[in-house]
Amino acid sequence: MWHGTRVDITVSSPYLCTMPRFAKVRLGDEHARKLRALQAAGIRLSEIVRVAIDRRYDALQARAVEDPEAMIRRIHEMYPDPPDTPPRGYDVHD
């Protein structure tokens, strides 16, 4: 088992420059604790990383095909006009 709370993984490989097949990951205390618990349950670090990459990639792809109107609506929801903004003299939807 590990001693201490920090996990440093270093891999030297010529592939690092051309193919990101290996990663160096530094974990804080809380993430190291969670990782140890997951590993104690039989879950491998490589599986955790692959699942996380797949989920983030799928979310990114879903956003890439998002319809433009939905994208504009999401932007307006994230950054609404301040309440004291005067009405515009034009139709923003035209």
Q: Quick: pLDDT tens for 44-81.
A: 999 999 999 999 999 888 777 778 888 888 898 999 98
pTM of the entire predicted model: 0.48
> d(Cα 40, Cα 1) in Å, to the nearest integer?
9
> d(Cα 62, Cα 75) in Å, to the nearest integer?
16
Strands 7-8 and 26-27: antiparallel
Q: What is the mean pLDDT of the chain?
A: 81
Claim to verify: residue 32 and residue 14 sit in the same structural domain: yes
Do the domain assignments include residue 93?
no
Claim to verify: residue 36 and residue 48 sit in the same structural domain: no
Count of domains for the chain: 2
